[in-house]
Amino acid sequence: MRIELPPNARAAPLRIDFVSALTTIEIASIRLTKGDAICFAADEDSEFDMIQVAGDAERIPGRAFRLRVTGIDPQLYLPAVQLPADEAPAFLEIRLRVIL
């Protein structure tokens, strides 16, 4: 999934909400880019540990970054990052799988 963020969007911190009640979500990678700059990237355990899980979600222990959605408002918060001040669009890219 690749989402272009609105112009002048801030990432301090960026909140991700999933609309997928009572499922398991397995995330392979998350990347926040602006132009050629990679502002945040997570694709292994140490990087995923910087992401805060909140709301109706809980992290499932194990090697992969897996979330159990327990209600209607699961949330992830990426760490605060500074985006370059240029005019390039910012994109959030997430590789994930939803397990019903």
3-state secondary structure of 46: helix
The count of other CB atoms within 10 Å of the CB of residue 78 is 20
The DSSP letter of residue 49 is T
- 30-to-44, 61, 87 alpha-carbon distances in Å: 10, 18, 22
User: pLDDT band at residue 22, thresholds of 50, 70 and 90?
Assistant: confident
Domain extents for the chain?
2-81+91-99
Identify the CA nearest to 56 among candidates 76, 80, 36, 42: 76
pLDDT tens by residue, 27-73: 999 999 999 999 999 998 889 999 999 999 999 998 789 999 999 99
